[in-house]
Chains A and B, each alone.
Chain A
């Protein structure tokens, strides 16, 4: 299984700022892409899927660049509650089954008051 790489951080960001982090993947056959959020001592939770045209959900924007094989997540007007680890997840299975998911190690984000 090919790797998914993320900057582990931590990213220390003041409240209200905009923060962005990227994730690169090595398997060009990857089919679908996701961002997950994982709080300390909790299970990962789906934050958003990443579509080829890019997508936005409130303060969160995800972008996919297939040519360069990277995914980005932008958080605007960051809140203290955004502090968490953000996992980049790539599905390399041609059928899109969940057994094809490859997880990055995560980027640790700390929002400071």
Chain B
């Protein structure tokens, strides 16, 4: 499986500000995925990031709130914009394995105050 490095590992942010999370993979991958895991909840897919095209967002998530960049096949960023306390969550990037499973970065624990 790929080695996925995600940073920051955690942050405490003021409401109304934005945070950009970075995800670096040690091999080239076609798709990268961004998830959110709210306290006590299951992982929810935010969007799929494809290199060279706009990200594909899931229902309930919009580009203005969660802009994504995918400048090359090993890197992606997710920005959480205009944050509110409801955005406090763990954000995870992932890549796809050979069997359709997901492998995750270490996660970013975000607290908005």
Partner pick for B96 among A31, A97, A104, A106, CB 8 A cutoff: A97
Interface 9-residue window, one of A38-46, A56-64, A65-73: A38-46
Chain B residues with CB below 8 A from A31, complex form: 100
Task: Evaluate whether A98 and B96 lie within 8 angstroms (CB atoms) in the complex, with A42-B106, A45-B104 already known.
Answer: yes
CB contact under 8 A between A105 and B97, given known A43-B107, A99-B31: no
Question: Can you name the residue of chain A whose Cβ is closest to the Cβ of B102?
Answer: A98
The CA of A85 and the CA of B112, in the complex, are separated in Å by 25
Interface size on B, residues (CB 8 A): 26
Q: Which residues of A contact B103 (CB under 8 A)?
A: 46
CA distance A91 to B109 in the complex (A): 26
Q: Is the CB of A43 within 8 A of B33?
A: no
CB distance from A40 to the nearest CB of B (A): 11
Of B1, B41, B101, the most chain A CB neighbours within 10 A belong to B101
* A95 nearest in chain B by CB position: B100
* B99 CB, min distance to chain A CBs, angstroms: 6
Contacts of B102 in A (CB 8 A): 44, 46, 89, 98, 101
User: Interface stretch among B12-20, B42-50, B69-77?
Assistant: B42-50
CB-based contact B96/A34 at 8 Å:
no
A interface, CB within 8 angstroms of B: 4, 31-32, 34, 41-46, 49, 87, 89, 91, 93, 96-101, 103-106
6 A-B pairs within 8 Å (CB atoms) are namely A31-B100, A87-B42, A98-B94, A98-B101, A101-B101, A103-B44
